[in-house]
């Protein structure tokens, strides 16, 4: 597993653990400060910058990720290919590419911006709140996956019909449909009309 600030234990020069910080933003996505990751997700939640990635194979199927059971937030549920938070000052595009590689062991091809969406989704299971200004990205996956088991429980490539069937019976992240619906115009442009998105 790659060791990064998101997965490593941080120690400051004094030997104390260093908090993972998120970038707080206003309603226009302008940075207004930082907050410790878990604190930003405690009710009522602090609006912070995030990203969501949707990768597709050559057949136009969406790569879903089942979040590992050890995740602090929404463990074991299915969601989009990759999602997370840029570090303060990190470009969302760079963060999306970095985390996709860290979690799934692949670098996206032809990844492009797909807009932004702002939402407020409480997670009843954990009691945490997703107050996010989310940057969306779509792209292709053209190499074998190498998922990190501490991040990813399972993966699946699905057509729109298969997604509908899975969504009806399996638990999904609270934010999944919001980010997918917001990304659909870019998804359709990437995959073409025959893919059905």
Question: Which among 83, 102, 103, 151 is annotated as catalytic?
Answer: 83
Does the active-site annotation cover 35? no
> Strands 21-25 and 31-36: what pairing?
antiparallel
Does the active-site annotation cover 132? yes
Question: Which among 103, 130, 132, 151 is annotated as catalytic?
Answer: 132
What is the secondary structure of the chain as a DSSP string? Answer: ----TTTSPPB-TTSPBPPPEEEEE-TTS-EEEEEEHHHHHSTT---EEEEEEEEE-TT--EEEEEEPTT-SSSTT-EESSEEE-PPTT--HHHHHHHHHHHHHS---EEEEEEEEEEEEEE-TTT--EEEEEEEEEEEE--S-----TTTEEEEEEE-HHHHHHHHHHS-B-TTHHHHHHHHHHHHHHHH-GGG--
Residue numbers annotated as active site = 83, 132
């Amino acid at each position: 597993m790659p060791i990064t600030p998101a997965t490593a234990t941080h120690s400051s020069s004094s030997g104390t653990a260093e908090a993972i910080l998120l970038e707080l933003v206003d309603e226009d996505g302008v940075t207004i400060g930082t907050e410790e990751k878990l604190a930003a997700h405690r009710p009522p939640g602090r609006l912070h910058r995030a990203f969501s990635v949707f990768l597709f194979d050559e057949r136009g199927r969406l790569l879903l990720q089942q979040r590992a059971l050890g995740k602090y937030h929404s463990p074991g549920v299915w969601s989009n290919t990759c999602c997370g938070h840029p570090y303060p000052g990190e470009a969302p595009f760079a963060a999306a590419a970095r985390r996709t590689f860290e979690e799934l062991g692949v670098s996206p091809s032809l990844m492009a911006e797909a807009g932004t969406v702002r939402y407020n989704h409480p997670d009843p299971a954990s009691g945490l709140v997703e107050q996010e200004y989310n940057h969306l990205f779509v792209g292709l996956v053209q190499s074998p996956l190498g998922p990190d088991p501490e991040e990813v429980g399972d993966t699946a490539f699905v057509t729109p019909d298969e997604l509908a069937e899975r969504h009806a019976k399996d638990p999904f992240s609270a934010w999944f449909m919001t980010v997918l619906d917001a990304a659909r115009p870019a998804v359709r442009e990437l995959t073409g009309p025959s893919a059905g998105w």
